[in-house]
Amino acid sequence: MIEKLLNSLRRNDRKAQQDFYEKYSVRMFSLSYRYVNNEQDAGSIVNNGFYKIFNNIDNLRDINEEKLIAWMRRIIINEALMLLRSRSRYPELKNTEEEIIVDAEVADEGLLMDDYHNLIRNLSEELRTVFNLYAIDGYSHKEIAVQLNIKESSSRVYLSRARKILQEKIATNILV
């Protein structure tokens, strides 16, 4: 089924492109919104991402839907990071002893997925980006360092600070 759709996309079939966009755009919008926290920017990222997806669809062979989605996610994340890099400078950070400690015993009973999303959404752009890349999208600190042009140690500090803020808000039931 997916190969038939990809063949239609390779032929620049407008109906297939529209169906494909409708099928995956909401998921990709949600992904980009996690990074930029802004609907207009997220929409631009998705549109730019789908432009790249359609232009590079010829390169995909023998692919299943899971791999296709992973490939599209990578494109959308890269688009979001390009936008964020154009706006932000990530200062190098140094570890402090208190930031190395991660408390795994934080009470989060009764929180819904939307509560977690809201907590993450309210982190600063730098903390949110590193947290998303590492904790949600599975990037290593080395990959994050390359993507954001920072040191691996800074990536660890950003992640540690994000976790600390999230843990404090969960522990005190401050849901924004």
Task: Identify the pLDDT of residue 170.
Answer: 86
Check whether 55 has a pLDDT greater than 70.
Answer: yes
The answer to whether the 2-87 and 97-171 domains have the same CATH topology is no
Q: Which CATH architecture has domain 2-87?
A: Orthogonal Bundle (1.10)
Q: In one letter, which amino acid is 7?
A: N
Task: Identify the pLDDT of residue 60.
Answer: 85
Q: What average pLDDT does the chain have? A: 86
Task: Identify the pLDDT of residue 93.
Answer: 65
- d(C-alpha 43, C-alpha 28), whole Å: 9
pLDDT digits (tens, 9 = 90+) for 116-145: 788 899 999 999 999 999 999 999 999 999
Domain map (residue ranges) of the chain = 2-87, 97-171
C-alpha pair distances (Å), 121 with each of 15, 112, 115, 125, 166: 35, 14, 10, 9, 11
Which CATH number fits the domain 97-171, given the four candidates 3.40.50.300, 1.10.10.10, 2.60.40.420, 1.10.357.10? 1.10.10.10
DSSP letters spanning the chain = -HHHHHHHHHTT-HHHHHHHHHHHHHHHHHHHHHHH--HHHHHHHHHHHHHHHHHHGGG--S--HHHHHHHHHHHHHHHHHHHHHHH---------HHHH---S----TT--HHHHHHHHHTS-HHHHHHHIIIIIT---HHHHHHHHT--HHHHHHHHHHHHHHHHHHHHTT---
Task: Identify the pLDDT of residue 105.
Answer: 45
Find the mean pLDDT for residues 13-32.
96
- d(C-alpha 74, C-alpha 151), whole Å: 21
What does pTM read for this prediction? 0.79
Task: Identify the pLDDT of residue 29.
Answer: 97
Task: Identify the pLDDT of residue 104.
Answer: 43
